[in-house]
Structure 1
Amino acid sequence: MKPAAPAAPRAPGYHGDDRWLLLWAALIGVVGALATVAFHEGMAFTERLATQHPGSLVHAAEALAPWRRALTPALGGVFAGAILWLAQRIAKGRKQPDYLEAIAIGDGRQGVKDTLLHSLSSLCTIGSGGSIGREGAMVQLAAATGSWIGQLARFDGDDLRLLLACGAAAGFAAAYDAALSGAIFIAEIVYGTLAIRRLGPLMVASVVSEVTVHQALGYAPVYKIPPLHVASLWELPLFLLMGLILGALAPLFMVTLDGAHRLAARLRLALPLKLALGGLVVGAISIWWPQVWGNGYSVVNDVLKHPWPLALVAAVLIAKVFATAATTGSGAVGGVFTPTIFVGALLGLLAGSAAHALWPGSSLPVVYAVIGMGAFLAATTHAPLMSFLIVFEMTLEYQLVPALMLSCLAAYHVSRAIRPQSIYHEALHRDTANEEDVVDSAPPPVSR
């Protein structure tokens, strides 16, 4: 009898039950979108409760008396830390991995109690003016819904991790009104591949989530970017130079965040006191620069629409870096993606102002600010494709593509040459099976 012929290798794409993953991804897109909406509304309520002022946190900070501006983030840190302490006690010292780690090296499972308590802690930090991005908790919560749905449907292994990733993509797309970037964010940063079996469900979840939040429910995009264009293709060397400079500065930004975390780790303080101290630093900075409150959406939108004195731009930029380092270093739950966009926009605005002063016929400084957003993202995340796509989705300006692509690639290569690890490296590689410290759900700086 002849031996059985070996099975033919499967062609790329979907096979059999794999196609059902697309339907599950669509369901997760809807549920993940609703989870981000719930967090968004909870955040608005918390902000009003903490400041008694509607609108952006920066406007609320400007309206508060200096002593309240200083103490409000600290008080929010006390409540946020107390909730994290409670989560730690419930978990009995076993830390739940965040969504990036659970997708990359975990089993895809996310606990209900731990996720909800971390989300509540994040609301306290962000609502009281903490300098951290809300997208970290929003994406974590949406990712957890993917895990919960997958567990209810009895998925496990790689399929459960993929459904968790679909939830994260849905949360990202809902947070930034960027359907394509939501899928690429997970595929490029976590998986490191654009394999269709993974990319397909990610794109379905991302698109369904974006449509649910921004088309069906009518939520506006967080960044309101005016029409822009590059004045001349002769400026491409200037955009290349800006990419090189931002790529060299990105490792310094990551080192600053990393140093703040190491410094806070040496403080033998209870979690409520440690987060309160981080909030107090933010509050002290905000006495002079209230623009450091919150994630920075309103500041970026303002500098893109109204001219700022360059001295104020530089001062707010430095203040924001230290405020973000204080918040993330204390262990607050949140993201660093939005603060990274903030830093990139202001660095780009300074570079564009210098270029416009030397060459009055060059593009407006705000063009450099928008390109800087993508370049600095590429430099910190080491994901140039995602960084290029998210800025393109925000602007939908094809004329910006050559400059944006060139700057993103230049920043990525310079940053990686100086510091091979991205800002997400530790979250993707750490082993937390026996870790007893409570760490924020945002990806921490490189060497945490």
Structure 2
Amino acid sequence: MNNTARIKKKYQLIKFQKLVIVSLLIGFLSAFLGISLKKITEYYEEIFFHQASTNPLFFVLFPIFGLSIIYFLREYLFRKKENKGIKEIFESTNSKSKNLPNYKIPSHFINGLLTVVFGGSTGIEVSTVVASATIGSVAQRKQNVFRQYKTELICAGVAAGVTALFSSPIAGILFAIEVISRKVTRAFLISNLIAVAIAFGLVFLLDEKPLFAVTITTWHLRAIPYFILLGILAGINSVYLTRCVLLFKSQFSKIKIHYYKILIGSIILSISLFFFPQLYGEGYHAIKGIFAHSNEVTLSFSLVLTFIGIILLKPIVTSATLASGGDGGVFAPSLFIGAFLGLLVALLLNTYLNANVIPVNFMVIGMAAVLSASIHAPFTSIFLVCGLTNDYTLFLPILVVCLISKYTAKKIFPFTVYSYSASLSK
């Protein structure tokens, strides 16, 4: 071996070692950020929701207070820049010169937390994804040797953040592939596998429990036609969610005085929360409640109206939250809509068709189906929801329904809130 080849081999080895070390660091920091945000949000959301449940006046006060604080933080602390969610990641990965600035880490962490704990009807998932992507972006800029690995290291942060939130390393990697990167290189595999391994190791050490304690026993082949129906309905609902978010953002962008946006968004949110407290924050408290009593629920006219009201209002309050300055995305709203849609469909089938389907199965499958259609990432949705319940019994029906919901949604409207732009739709 000549000197040139020897030097080249040594350089490649050093580059590989540095990639491993930086991936370890990104994995740990992204997971720590994700777990911290999740824990703090859960703790304070429970406190504030309890206060509002005791005194409904807080359903009016909390949203306007939270959105106002976020506005002032953006104006005076975060360079007057609005957070664009996952589109910020696309702008960075699609450009050699554009990078995610460092302040995006505290900006998304704080604003995501404030949005949810004060009743904003969204979730912390997108806040975590962008903040953890920024960790990868910052690491990539530290040394010239990492310049060529910009997308890979951003994806490593994203994958570790998703792993930390949902206790599913497979979902983390699949989300990075399906939504962010769309391609897999050797550097991508090395950096992302290391990052999610570290993230999952931290989740394991901290003994993080599944978000939803659900007992799934079995599923039956005779339920397949009903699963297909659920997939189609999930696809339609996801398009409704997507179009709502895009419409509200478009209309609110015409309002020049930002505080008017806050007032309008707060009014929509406050009125909705007053009548439907289930819409508060991420809505996971409501999902846990219906999971706990899904087999005991009996269908009534008032219950049907309540469920329909919740399913129709959730996209509206989510859109109002985001358009008026709240930080978040469609992850948690999709899971929320899917759970209520699945239970409603199961109750209607059992009551009027004597289908004898299992409500909890429809809730779990509904969650995955609406998420799959909303972000056009069926495989991410499968492992993410299975991670949330720590149960893979429904893997096959979830796979089928996620594919049906995604292609139903794409047939009706070919964009997600991440991929849509006015120029593309013309």
Scaled to the shorter chain, the TM-score interval is: 0.7 to 0.9
Q: Residue 98 of structure 1 aligns to which amino acid in structure 2?
A: E
- In the superposition, relative to structure 1, how do residues 106 and 373 fare at CA in structure 2: closer, same or farther (>3 Å)? farther
Aligned position for 2:250: 262
Aligned position for 1:8: none
Q: Residue 262 of structure 2 aligns to which amino acid in structure 1?
A: L
- In the superposition, relative to structure 1, how do residues 71 and 126 fare at CA in structure 2: closer, same or farther (>3 Å)? same
Specify which of 266, 276, 280 is matched with residue 289 of structure 1.
276
388-397 or 127-136: bigger deviation: 388-397
Deviation, structure 1 residue 171: 0.9
Aligned position for 1:52: none
* C-alpha contact 2:349 2:356 (8 A) present in aligned 1: yes
Count, aligned residues: 406
* C-alpha contact 1:228 1:397 (8 A) present in aligned 2: no
1:353 to 2:343 alignment: no
Q: Deviations over 1:36-78 (max 9, x none)?
A: 2333455367x37xxxxxx365444312x22222111111111
Specify which of 195, 198, 201 is matched with residue 208 of structure 1.
198
Aligned position for 1:28: 26
Aligned position for 2:300: none
* C-alpha contact 2:372 2:405 (8 A) present in aligned 1: yes
Aligned position for 1:165: 155
Q: Residue 261 of structure 2 aligns to which amino acid in structure 1?
A: K
Q: Deviations over 1:11-53 (max 9, x none)?
A: xxxx7534653442222111111122333455367x37xxxxx
1:275 to 2:275 alignment: no
Distance 1:149 1:33 in 2: 15
Distance 2:354 2:110 in 1: 49
Specify which of 233, 240, 256 is matched with residue 228 of structure 2.
240
Deviation, structure 1 residue 273: 4.4
* C-alpha contact 1:225 1:394 (8 A) present in aligned 2: no
Aligned position for 2:9: none
* C-alpha contact 1:248 1:415 (8 A) present in aligned 2: yes
* C-alpha contact 1:146 1:167 (8 A) present in aligned 2: yes
Specify which of 183, 189, 205 is matched with residue 199 of structure 1.
189
Distance 1:221 1:250 in 2: 25
1:14-413 to 2 correspondences below 5 Å: 16=13, 17-18=15-16, 20-43=18-41, 47=44, 55=46, 58-63=49-54, 65-87=55-77, 89=79, 98-105=88-95, 107=97, 109-212=99-202, 214-230=203-219, 232-270=220-258, 272-307=259-294, 308=297, 309-360=303-354, 362-413=356-407
Deviation, structure 1 residue 105: 4.1
Q: Secondary structure at the match of 2:115?
A: helix
Q: Residue 58 of structure 2 aligns to which amino acid in structure 1?
A: R
After TM superposition, the score normalised by the length of structure 1 is 0.82
Aligned position for 1:423: 417
Q: Secondary structure at the match of 1:423?
A: coil
After TM superposition, the score normalised by the length of structure 2 is 0.86
- In the superposition, relative to structure 1, how do residues 19 and 412 fare at CA in structure 2: closer, same or farther (>3 Å)? farther
Q: Residue 27 of structure 1 aligns to which amino acid in structure 2?
A: L
CA-atom RMSD in angstroms: 2.9
* C-alpha contact 2:120 2:280 (8 A) present in aligned 1: yes
Distance 2:223 2:320 in 1: 37
Deviation, structure 1 residue 194: 4.3
Distance 1:245 1:199 in 2: 36
Q: Secondary structure at the match of 2:103?
A: helix
Q: Residue 75 of structure 2 aligns to which amino acid in structure 1?
A: W
Distance 2:84 2:405 in 1: 34
Q: Secondary structure at the match of 1:218?
A: coil
Distance 2:193 2:50 in 1: 36
288-297 or 357-366: bigger deviation: 357-366
Q: How many percent of aligned residue pairs carry the same amino acid?
A: 23
Aligned position for 1:435: none
- In the superposition, relative to structure 1, how do residues 342 and 90 fare at CA in structure 2: closer, same or farther (>3 Å)? closer
- In the superposition, relative to structure 1, how do residues 369 and 150 fare at CA in structure 2: closer, same or farther (>3 Å)? same
Unaligned runs of 5+ in 1: 1-14, 49-54, 432-445
Distance 2:372 2:307 in 1: 22
Q: Deviations over 1:410-429 (max 9, x none)?
A: 11111111111123204xx7
